Every structure is written in structure tokens, then in C-alpha cells.
Homo-oligomer: A and B are copies of this chain.
Amino acid sequence: MANTDSLRVRVFSLNCWGIRYVSKHTPQRYDMIGELLSKEEYDIVLLQEVWSEKDYLSLKKKLAFCHPHSHHFKSGVIGSGLAIFSKHRIHDTFLYRYSLNGYPYMVQHGDWFGGKAVGMAVLKLGGLTANVYVTHLHAEYSRDKDSYLPHRVVQAWELQQFVRHTSAAADVVILGGDLNMHPQDLGSRLLMSYTGLRDSYLESAEFDGCEDGMTLIADNPFIGKGSMGPLEKGIRIDYILFKGSSERDVHCDFMSTTKGSAPDHPFPYSDHEALTAALRVETRQRPSKNQDSAGGKTAELVDIVTEARTEVKVGLHCAERMRYTAARTGAMGLALLFLELAIAAVPWLALGAAQPFPRTSFYLLAALCVAILFTTALLYVFYSAELKSLQGAEDQMRLAVGSLQEELRGFPVAQPHGAQRGALGPEE
């Protein structure tokens, strides 16, 4: 189709920490980010936590000369915070909103309001079709006691489904973003194994950046001292992932991260480090063949999906317990309200009828009962929806394991859909 014997693509990814009036030095940092991007002229820029439409629009204006094409993905109450800037025309976009994303009453964590999602943009790079994904998964607020783990595992599950099912026509697949997962976390393994995406940090021929490729480091002045907990120096939770197709091979020649500071500026670009990857797309000399290892990979995948299922089941138990508690509290509120009404309606039930009726207490208590009823009803509805999503993911995982196991047993028709250009199956 086009002359693409060796196509070079430079990709940038950064969690911008752009909460207006809350994040520190937001306008200055956006200026710095705009400056950097204008100077470097990356092919594709993937940003997360661009919460404000105004900030997106001012970046868009500033980058119009080098990145004429851009898209801000909208979801949730505040937005998804996801944005893409591109040198190349964006032909199509699509947004998938994760079904689970924390709890609305955890206002201090705010994830629910952000409407976490994965955005996709379809670009043409020198005649090749590139599917570019940008995402941001639910934050991990405590590594030891991570109550959001089932939600994040379901997000990783949906992310791999989305990438796998939408990328069949792509020659190049690029995913960048803040996954909020360490490289060995269940969700990371699930994503990489199922989609066949490769980690540019691990694959890069050359690397320049923080030790161990860390992207959230204790030395960053925006990070509270001691907040890293036992992981003293930092963690690697931001990624640029990539893969080719049966006809195109992708290599990572160079990868870098910022190191907790920005040249000539008093503070860094964000609380996360920025990532850049220089990718090279080449025509495969012969269609890729990994038939030998396919069985091993499928077996590994069965284990990972089974592990994910277990985690989702833990989440199911938890959500069921929460829903039960909401229902019980609601029932108690209702009982109290009836008791009150009975006391008011049937005078002889009131103790010491001679005493004046305690109106103030009566109304306050009734208001409390109504508030309890209303709140627990809302919570019940919310937990019911959470249960449905968890059950749905669990069902899908069970079905996927069944299909993978059949493939392992070597049934003739057992090559699953996603494997066609993915990591699993032999290419035709």
C-alpha cells in the first residue's frame, strides 16, 4: 500500500496532574508541557488527567502548528481526563467507559467522578493504520489494603478486551497511559498476555531515565515524603506499550523518562514522570510464527485469567456484604420511622401521656430516618450495579477460560478470535 520499510514514530505519554486549584502550579506546568511538546514535536502525544476543558483548549491552541489533530475524550461527571495530540490526522475515535470505577461517596479519591475510560484514535501513519489507545486506571491508594483491587482488575480485563477486539484491522497498536499497576501486578500481566502488547521499557534497545524505569518517584517534589510507603524510591505505573501485526513488526529503539525535574524550571512537569518512546515499524520478512510457544502462552493465560476470576470473586463477596449492610440499615431506619409514627399516632403508647409531646426530637428523628432510608436506597442501587458488573466480568472470564482450555486440548476449531493477530495463536 505504501512505502513503509522503516517508519519511525515518536510517542509521548504523561499524567499531567491537572486538577485546577488543587494540583500545584497547574498553569505554569501546562506552559512547560506545551513548551516541551512544541520543541520536541512528537508524532503522538498521550495525556492523562487533563481534567479541565479550558486547559485542553489552551494546549490545543499552543500546539496547533505541530499537532494540528487532537481529541479530548469526555466521560463521567468531570471528564475522562484523556487527551491525544497528533501530527497525523485522526480518522476515527471511540471511547470505552470502564464499568467499575470506585465509589461516588469516596469523594476524596474522586476517581468515580472522573469517569475512567480508554480512548482510541485511528491514525494513518504513512499509509499504515495505527490504533492508538490512551487510558488511566483507578488509583491505588494503599498497596497493603487495596480495596479497589477488584475494580482495577475488571478495568484491566475490559481494557484488554477493548484493545483485542478493536485492533484486528490495525498494522500498529500503541497504548500509553497511567495504568496504576506495577509491571508484575495481576492486571498488567492480564493486559500484556492477552493482547500481546509489549512494554517499551523492557523492549527498548536504549534507555535513559529513572532507575528501573520508575514513573512515580519519591524525589519528585510534588509527592509527599513517605507517601511511597515501603517502596522507597518509586514505582513504575505509567507505560507505553506497542505491538505490530502479522505483516508489520514494531521495535523500540529508544525509551526515556524525565527524572523528577525539568531543565531550566524550578519544578517538574507533573507528579508523574513523562515517558517517550521511539518506535520503528518494519515490514515483516515472513509472517510471524510462534506456534511452538503458543501452547505455553495459552496455559499461562489460563492461569492469569483464573487468578483474575478469584480477585473478582473477592470483590463480589465484598459488594454483596456492602449491599446487605445497606439493606439492613435501611430496614432499621424504616422500622424506627414506623415506631415513631406509631408513638405519635397512638397517644396511649407514649410514656407518660401527661408530659408534653417532644416535637423537636420527633421531627429531628423522623428527618434522620428519612435521610437514612434515602441514602441506603441509593447505596443499594449502586451496589446492585456494582454486583452486576462484577458478575458480568466473572461470567466472561469463566467463558474465556473454557475456550482457552479447549484450545489447549487441541480441538480443531479452537482458535479464539483475539488470537488472530495477537500473542496467542499461530498466525495463518
| A74 and B391 contacting across the interface, CB-CB below 8 Å | yes
Q: Taking the nearest CB of chain B, how far is it from the CB of A35, in angstroms?
A: 26
Of listed A1, A72, A416, A417, residue having the most chain B CB within 10 A: A417
Q: Taking the nearest CB of chain B, how far is it from the CB of A244, in angstroms?
A: 16
Is A260 interfacial (CB 8 A cutoff)?
Answer: no
Which of A8-16, A36-44, A86-94 touches B?
A86-94
Residue interface bits A394-428, CB-to-B below 8 A is 1, else 0: 01100110010010000001111110110000001
Which of A160-168, A234-242, A269-277, A329-337 touches B?
A160-168
| A74 and B166 contacting across the interface, CB-CB below 8 Å | no
Is A73 interfacial (CB 8 A cutoff)?
Answer: yes
Q: In the assembled complex, which residues on chain B have CB atoms less than 8 Å from the CB atom of A94?
A: 161-162, 165, 396
| A90 and B169 contacting across the interface, CB-CB below 8 Å | no
Q: In the assembled complex, which residues on chain B have CB atoms less than 8 Å from the CB atom of A170?
A: 417
Bound Cα distance from A392 to B71, whole angstroms: 10
| A89 and B165 contacting across the interface, CB-CB below 8 Å | no
Bound Cα distance from A383 to B194, whole angstroms: 37
Q: In the assembled complex, which residues on chain B have CB atoms less than 8 Å from the CB atom of A370?
A: 367
Check A420/B169 contact, CB under 8 A, given A77-B388, A363-B367, A381-B77.
Answer: yes
Is A97 interfacial (CB 8 A cutoff)?
Answer: yes
Check A74/B161 contact, CB under 8 A, given A92-B416, A396-B93.
Answer: no
A359 interface neighbour in B1, B93, B359, B374, Cβ under 8 Å:
B359
Is A385 interfacial (CB 8 A cutoff)?
Answer: yes
A363 interface neighbour in B360, B388, B418, Cβ under 8 Å:
B360
Interface residues on A, range: 35 or more
Q: Taking the nearest CB of chain B, how far is it from the CB of A426, in angstroms?
A: 12
Bound Cα distance from A166 to B131, whole angstroms: 12
List the B residue with the shortest CB-CB distance to A126: B413
| A416 and B381 contacting across the interface, CB-CB below 8 Å | no
Is A129 interfacial (CB 8 A cutoff)?
Answer: yes
Q: In the assembled complex, which residues on chain B have CB atoms less than 8 Å from the CB atom of A389?
A: 74-75
Q: Taking the nearest CB of chain B, how far is it from the CB of A104, in angstroms?
A: 8
Of listed A72, A122, A169, A396, residue having the most chain B CB within 10 A: A169
Bound Cα distance from A92 to B404, whole angstroms: 10
Is A124 interfacial (CB 8 A cutoff)?
Answer: yes
List the B residue with the shortest CB-CB distance to A131: B417
Bound Cα distance from A384 to B104, whole angstroms: 14
Q: How many copies does the complex hold?
A: 2
Is A296 interfacial (CB 8 A cutoff)?
Answer: no
List the B residue with the shortest CB-CB distance to A385: B77
| B129 and A417 contacting across the interface, CB-CB below 8 Å | yes
List the B residue with the shortest CB-CB distance to A125: B413
Is A99 interfacial (CB 8 A cutoff)?
Answer: yes
| A417 and B91 contacting across the interface, CB-CB below 8 Å | yes
Residue interface bits A167-204, CB-to-B below 8 A is 1, else 0: 01110000000000000000000000000000000000
Is A102 interfacial (CB 8 A cutoff)?
Answer: no
Check A395/B71 contact, CB under 8 A, given A91-B403, A122-B416.
Answer: yes
| B72 and A395 contacting across the interface, CB-CB below 8 Å | yes
| A417 and B360 contacting across the interface, CB-CB below 8 Å | no
Is A18 interfacial (CB 8 A cutoff)?
Answer: no
What are 24 of the A-B contact pairs (CB < 8 Å)?
A: A72-B395, A74-B388, A74-B392, A75-B388, A76-B385, A77-B388, A78-B388, A91-B417, A92-B400, A92-B403, A92-B416, A93-B399, A93-B400, A97-B99, A115-B385, A124-B415, A129-B420, A168-B168, A169-B169, A169-B417, A170-B417, A359-B359, A363-B364, A367-B370
